[in-house]
Amino acid sequence: MPQESPSALDTFPRLLLHHARVRGDRPAIREKEYGIWQSWAWAQAADEVRAIACGLAELGFRLIATEGTIRFAVVEDQEQVDKMLEVRASCPLLEHVIYDDPRGMRHYNQPFIHALDEVQAMGAIHNRNHPDFIADEVARGGADDVAIMLYTSGTTGKPKGVCQTHRALIAAARGGQQFDRLTADEDILSYLPMAWVGDNLFSYAQALVTGFTINCPESGDTVMTDMREIGPTYYFAPPRVYENLLTQVMIRMEDAGWVKRGLFHFFMDVAKRCGARILDRASGVSALDRLLYGLGNLLVYAPLRNVLGMSRIRVAYTAGAAIGPDLFRFYRSLGINLKQLYGQTETCAYVCLQPDGGVRLDTVGVPAPGVEVRLADSGEILVRGPMLLKEYYKRPDATAESIDAEGYFHTGDAGFLDTDGHLRIIDRAKDVGHLAGGAMFAPNYIENKLKFFQYIREAVAFGHGRDTVCAFINIDIGAVGNWAERRGIAYSGYTDLAAKKEVYELIQQCVEQVNEQLTGEGELATSQVSRFLILHKELDPDDDELTRTRKVRRGFIAEKYAVLVEALYGGKKSQFIETQVKFEDGRTGSVAADLEIRDVRTFQAVRKAA
Q: What is the pLDDT of residue 349?
A: 95
Q: Stretch 181-202: mean pLDDT, rounded?
A: 93
Q: What is the pLDDT of residue 67?
A: 45
Tell me the chain's radius of gyration from C-alpha atoms: 26
Q: What is the pLDDT of residue 90?
A: 85
Q: Stretch 446-460: mean pLDDT, rounded?
A: 91
**Residues with Cβ < 8 Å from 343, sequence gap 6 or more?**
172, 197, 319, 349, 350, 351, 352, 387
Q: What is the pLDDT of residue 610?
A: 44
Tell me how far apart the alpha carbons of residues 143 and 10 are, in angstroms, rounded to a whole number. Answer: 5
Length of the chain measured in residues: 610
Residue 194 banded pLDDT, cuts 50, 70, 90:
confident
CATH class of 432-599: alpha beta
Instruction: Give, as one character, the DSSP assignment of residue 312.
Output: T
Q: pLDDT tens across 344-362, in order?
A: 999 999 999 999 999 988 8
Q: Are strands 187-189 and 161-165 parallel, antiparallel or unpaired?
A: unpaired
Average pLDDT over the chain, rounded to an integer: 91
Q: pLDDT tens across 510-527, in order?
A: 999 999 989 987 778 899
Q: pLDDT tens across 45-54, in order?
A: 999 999 999 9
pLDDT score of 144 more than 60:
yes
Q: pLDDT tens across 562-582, in order?
A: 999 999 999 999 999 999 888
Q: pLDDT tens across 307-344, in order?
A: 999 999 999 999 877 677 778 889 999 999 999 999 99
| CB contact burial 315-344 (16+ within 10 A = b; e otherwise) | bbbbbbbbbbeebbbbbbbbbbbbbbbbbb
Tell me how far apart the alpha carbons of residues 331 and 233 are, in angstroms, rounded to a whole number. Answer: 15
Lowest-pLDDT choice from 71-75, 386-390, 547-551: 547-551
Q: pLDDT tens across 95-115, in order?
A: 999 999 999 999 999 999 999
DSSP code string of 184-221: TT-EEE--S-TTSHHHHIIIIIHHHHH--EEEE-S-GG
Q: Stretch 596-601: mean pLDDT, rounded?
A: 96
Q: What is the pLDDT of residue 480?
A: 96
End-to-end CA separation in angstroms for the chain: 65
Residue 1 banded pLDDT, cuts 50, 70, 90:
very low
Tell me how far apart the alpha carbons of residues 378 and 36 are, in angstroms, rounded to a whole number. Answer: 54
pLDDT, greater one: 419 or 274: 274
- Dihedral, 561, 562, 563, 565 alpha carbons, nearest 10: 90
Residue 154 banded pLDDT, cuts 50, 70, 90:
low
Q: What is the pLDDT of residue 157?
A: 62
Backbone angles phi, psi at 495, to 5 degrees: -60, -40
